[in-house]
């Protein structure tokens, strides 16, 4: 998978060089490119923003640097087109389902907005030439899209085959089967007056699986009843319904 990120703060994306993403890049599973939008400015101040048309507070990212960035990274680079993701408070909520959707894409490009946002014409112009999705990591406003890109790239990268060593850990993690994950424990069996639930030390894998399923349902009902609403009824067995 090829991933490009365009930002006025490329150093914000350095954490992607660490840990899992770093190894994935070494293995050639992910080809990550981070680009400074100011590379496509030509004035002495490398300005990327301008006063909002129609007045109002703040500044808007002007279209010209984005247009020339897309020319160089996309249009002049060949026939292939990336899926363009613009992280934004006004975007489609990012979920594990979208992470799975994005992990299947051969090429993702992230545009990091800042200030009051990117001139809408950049989004419209790009949408005429490639798939564009505005995506939100939550209902709040950040200074810029870089933090959202870090979260999205991490969630997507770990789903790329080969990136996560033990693929099994993907199976029953939170939000995979539409439920939150059961609580996890490690030795010692007793810690500061708190014991590991005995079933987990029983060696009876059937009982352990059942206990984890029950805990996942109870936890989801308590913390995220909205997820239960969305569950496919077919995925709940008789015992589940009684919980
Ligand atoms: C067309 O889209 C844009 O212009 C995006 O513009 C902006 C404006 C302000 C802040 C951001 C950064 O994203 C978030 O704050 C965000 C993402 N997820 N949750 C909060 C982006």
pLDDT 10s per residue in the chain (243 long)?
999 999 999 999 999 888 767 888 888 999 999 999 999 999 999 999 999 999 999 999 999 999 999 999 999 999 999 999 999 999 999 999 999 999 999 999 999 999 999 999 999 999 999 999 999 999 999 999 999 999 999 999 999 988 887 665 676 677 767 899 999 999 999 999 999 999 999 999 999 999 999 999 999 999 999 998 888 778 788 878 777
Establish whether this prediction's ipTM goes over 0.90: yes
Q: What is the pLDDT of residue 240?
A: 81
Supply the residue whose CA is at minimum distance from atom 4 of ligand 1: 117
Gap from CA of 160 to ligand 1 centroid (Å): 26
Q: What is the pLDDT of residue 172?
A: 62
Q: How far apart are CA 18 and CA 139, in angstroms?
A: 28
Q: What is the pLDDT of residue 168?
A: 56
Q: What is the pLDDT of residue 18?
A: 80
Residue from 134, 180, 174 nearest 155 by CA: 174
Tell me which residues have their CB closer than 6 angstroms to ligand 1.
86-89, 113, 117-118, 123, 134, 136-138, 140-142, 144-145, 148
Gap from CA of 235 to ligand 1 centroid (Å): 36
Dihedral, CA atoms, 86, 90, 96, 102, nearest 10 degrees? Answer: -20
Mutation to probe ligand 1, out of 88, 94, 119 (largest number of atoms < 8 A from CB): 88
Gap from CA of 118 to ligand 1 centroid (Å): 9
Mutation to probe ligand 1, out of 49, 94, 98, 145 (largest number of atoms < 8 A from CB): 145
Q: What is the pLDDT of residue 167?
A: 62
Gap from CA of 211 to ligand 1 centroid (Å): 41
Q: What is the pLDDT of residue 235?
A: 79
Gap from CA of 204 to ligand 1 centroid (Å): 49
Sign of torsion over alpha carbons 181, 186, 191, 194: positive
Contact assessment for residue 123 and residue 155, using Cβ atoms and an 8 Å cutoff:
no
Q: What is the pLDDT of residue 20?
A: 65
Beta strands in the chain (DSSP E): 2-7, 31-36, 49-50, 60-61, 83-93, 107-112, 132-136, 190-191, 194-195
- For the whole prediction, is pTM greater than 0.90? yes
Gap from CA of 60 to ligand 1 centroid (Å): 12
């Amino acid at each position: 998978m090829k991933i490009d990120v365009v930002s006025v703060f490329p150093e914000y994306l350095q954490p992607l060089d660490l840990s899992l993403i770093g190894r994935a890049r070494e293995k050639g599973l992910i080809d990550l490119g981070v680009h400074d939008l100011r590379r496509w400015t030509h004035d002495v101040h490398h300005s990327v923003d301008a006063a909002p048309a129609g007045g109002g507070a703040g500044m808007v990212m002007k279209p010209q640097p984005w247009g020339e960035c897309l020319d160089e990274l996309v249009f002049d680079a060949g026939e292939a087109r990336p899926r363009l993701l613009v992280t934004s408070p006004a975007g489609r909520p990012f979920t594990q389902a979208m992470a799975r959707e994005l992990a299947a894409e051969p090429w993702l490009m992230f545009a990091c907005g800042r200030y009051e946002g990117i001139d809408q014409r950049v989004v419209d112009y790009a949408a005429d030439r490639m798939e564009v999705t505005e995506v939100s990591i939550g209902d709040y406003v950040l200074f810029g899209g870089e933090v959202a890109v870090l979260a999205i790239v991490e969630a997507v990268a770990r789903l790329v085959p080969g990136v996560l060593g033990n693929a099994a850990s993907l199976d029953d993690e939170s939000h995979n089967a539409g439920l939150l994950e059961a609580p996890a424990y490690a030795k010692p069996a007793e810690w500061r007056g708190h014991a590991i639930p005995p079933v987990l030390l029983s060696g009876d894998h059937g009982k352990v699986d059942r206990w984890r399923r029950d805990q996942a349902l109870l936890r989801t009902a308590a913390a995220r009843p909205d997820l239960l609403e969305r569950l496919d009824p077919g995925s709940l067995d008789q015992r589940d319904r009684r919980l």
